[in-house]
Amino acid sequence: MMCRLVLALVVVGLPAVAWADVDSGDTAWLLTSTALVLFMTIPGLALFYAGLVRTRNVLSVLMQCFILVCAISVLWVTVGYTLAFGAGGIGGVIGGLEKIFLRTVTVDSLAGTIPESVFVVFQLTFAAITPALIVGGFAERMNFAAMLIFCLLWTLFAYVPVAHWVWGGGWLAQMGVMDFAGGAVVHVNAGVAALVAAMVLGRRRGFPQTAMLPHNMTMTVTGAAMLWVGWFGFNAGSAVAADGVAGMAMLVTHTSAAAGALMWMAVEWVRHGKPSALGAVTGMVAGLGTITPASGFVGPMGALLIGASAGFICYWATQLVKQHWVIDDSLDVFPVHGVGGALGMLLTSVFVASTLGGAGLAPEVSMISQFMVQSIAVIATAGWSALVSYLALKLAGALVPLRVGVEEEIEGLDLVNHEERGYNL
């Protein structure tokens, strides 16, 4: 066996010493996790969102999610990865350009115990799903070209810097922030951007007087189920190893999702007399988003409480945004992802305590001091995302029409933007 291994390395021209450091189990798990996270976006998130809009806009949402994966992938391999994870940048704020166009990422280069190429594509899927989440904030009214310009600018100037701050050795990482899989980087970041986009673009025609019901709940529930499965790659994959941390992350992710769905359903049942499928799947997504920053640090009991808190608080946040603020965040991105991500970041500092079943804090770190660090991360991410989102929207609007016209909105974005229909009945 050893002779065949050395022969194979010689034949393909790879140094045996480098590959001796690769853990095949870790690599296999990260390859699987990468596929799972991509599965979350297309088809999971795409179907989840597409079912929630009206018939005349279903194809536009599917197209936005699909094409964003393509566009962000190119952005990531050219400059995104190096700015997020490259060394030698601007002290703690942004990474350097040593890995521009992935020029130093070769078949030999490693990231810990896995090939760096696997780490690059795993992180790419995170970068792709984050702007796709924002799509729910401006669904059914944003011009396709403006959407693409905005999301590219936002990813480069909002997602990439925050990813560096938290995961790339930036200033929040140096403060000791705990964000295992993207509570701040993904969910707070995207949630705030969706809220800003909804406010800048304005409400859909007829909102809130006209009921804008999901056109296909079967599609939405199917997409939600795909999100649930894919989230195991999102959270457990963030251990970057096939080990006990990954196993616990998977367990608490599932537990929180279930608790979130049950809590949201219970609140709706009490308030309206009947449980809805939409409420159940939305609560599940809230549970997933809220456990994301905590998933590598808390235990099962912490996950139960985090998920239940997500279902309850995110439900009321949805009512606040839609009914009291009257902001048309079309698919509830901010109350579910923004509020859920912030809640998860803060609760991480509580349920990480070993006395509550978590992994425990360092001896010199108190729960209060960790809570302050988590709070700083939430505030900094939210503030930066809001600023970049506003400027990116204004720039996109200066280049192309930001929003479709009234008649075009009535006709639907499927025909207006793509000259196609989601359904030919």
288: pLDDT strictly greater than 70: yes
Structure tokens at 32: 């699987």
Size of the chain in residues? 425
Dihedral of CA 268/335/294/65: which sign?
positive
Give the per-residue pLDDT at 91.
Answer: 82
Q: Where are the alpha helices (DSSP H) in 320-361?
A: 333, 339-351
Written as one letter, the residue type at 342 is A
Give the per-residue pLDDT at 425.
Answer: 74
Report the C-alpha gap between 360 and 25 in whole angstroms: 26
Report the C-alpha gap between 69 and 74 in whole angstroms: 9
CB atoms within 10 A of CB 15: 10
Q: Are 370 and 178 in contact (CB under 8 A)?
A: yes
Q: Beta partners for 111?
A: 114
Structure tokens at 376: 């700083």
Report the C-alpha gap between 10 and 325 in whole angstroms: 65
- From the number of C-beta atoms within 10 Å of its C-beta (0-12, 13-18, 19+), residue 334 rates as buried
- Domains observed in the chain: 23-402 (1.10.3430.10)
Report the C-alpha gap between 104 and 93 in whole angstroms: 22
- Give the pTM: 0.93
For residue range 325-357, list pLDDT tens digits in order: 999 999 999 999 999 999 999 999 999 999 999
Give the per-residue pLDDT at 19.
Answer: 59
Which H or E element spans position 175?
helix 171-175
Nearest to 110 by CA among 30, 190, 188: 30
Give the per-residue pLDDT at 362.
Answer: 92
Structure tokens at 211: 């009921």
For residue range 10-19, list pLDDT tens digits in order: 333 444 445 5
